[in-house]
Amino acid sequence: MAHLQRIIMQLLGFFALFALRVGASFTQFTSIDAGQGTKWAVLVAGSTGYENYRHQANVCHAYQILKKGGLKEENIIVFMYDDVAFDKENPRPGVLINRPGGKDVYAGVKKDYTGEDVNEHNILAAILGDYSTIIGGSKKVVNSGRDDYILLYFTDHGGSGRFVLPKGGYLYADKLNKTLWKKHELGTYKQMMIYFDCCHSGSMFEGLLSNDMNIYVATSAKPAEKSYLTYCDEELYQTCLSSQFSAAWMEDSDQYDRATRTLAEQYEVVKHRVTRSKATQYGDISMTKDTLSTYMGTQLLSTSNFSSTSKFSGSVSEYDADIYILIRKASQAFTSRSEKNKEDAEQELYEALKKRAHIDDAFTAIAVHLFGKNKGPKLLNQFPKPGQPVVNDWDCYRKSVETYDKYCGSSTYALKYMGLFANMCNAGGLNSQLAQAVAKACR
């Protein structure tokens, strides 16, 4: 009889626990682990093309860090176009490195969303855990519960309040922050950390992210700043291998014991090594007392002689990387004996500089058309005061960007001027003359 009573009590305990978890949500019931909970990660490289080698190499390096830290493959979600490793310009087909002399970081990376499946909708759905609306890809999402820890990492080009995605797509700051708030409301994580690496990355969170959501963010730049690249002087590769911010946090994660090193200690190293822009923190800064292992898992201490605090080499801004690389290519071509190589390199550089000059002139013309000769040019580089979001009317901003892309085409270099459209929307909404001004400037 006593034995039967024990069995009945165990069953009652089980069903009570089951009822509590089902009440919280089915998602939580299926994902909660004992103890600290499950570690999850979403890694996003938004660019395409060999000239943007660094972004996909960054994500692959982050993947290797997390795998070595013990995160399960099913808990790491990778978004990358995946067109660089086997690009004809890659001197080592099927291999990506993230620093000079570094190991291959591409091998073994499980890509969940590639090509045009790397888009705003899928990224936000994956973060939220909404696999039912995912289109394409592996359908893998952050199926997290209330005790789980999440790391989000983004690397690419960016402009005011937006992160660039393949084929003219963008991830906008308002939609990202709404998704984070919704996930917080659902109670499907314990703590979340975000590393965001792109120009104007601070504008993705400034004035938008609350500090009471158990989310900590570090960005590569303040809202008005460009981000900078590194390892751009490798002769074999003719491209940049990484960015200052990404290299700083990942090399630190490789080098130190993650079970004892804190986010605060890592941030200090990042601030020291990111010299051309200002790494900035948002959200719940008290979370920086957490150890790296909370989100990245642990690893054995590195036996490498490489120093994760050394000064970066070959640094250049995201906006100027293409010109820097073309200048290097032209320089090498002029030392060769091939006249055709010299002419091709010179022409490619000339066309790139000509396109930039046209974009400069176009935005000045648009600004003058909309706001006049005195006020217009000032709005090209004007940003809100600290603590305020870069955009107030996001629908207006999206329509402005769509209008520009329609008549002028999307361009990485043009991102530096997108504050003009933000200022226009903040000043009074969509200007009825915008389409006419853009079409005239870009004809």
* Catalytic residue (one of 55, 61, 157, 200): 157
Residue 239 tokens read as: 């491209």
> What is the C-alpha radius of gyration for the chain, rounded to an integer number of angstroms?
24
Question: Is residue 66 within 8 Å of residue 75, measured between CB atoms?
Answer: no
Both tokens assigned to 62? 């982050």
Residue type, 412: T
Cβ 285 vs Cβ 216: under 8 Å: yes
For residue 61, indicate whether it is catalytic. Answer: no
**The one catalytic residue among 198, 199, 408, 442:** 199
Catalytic residues: 157, 199
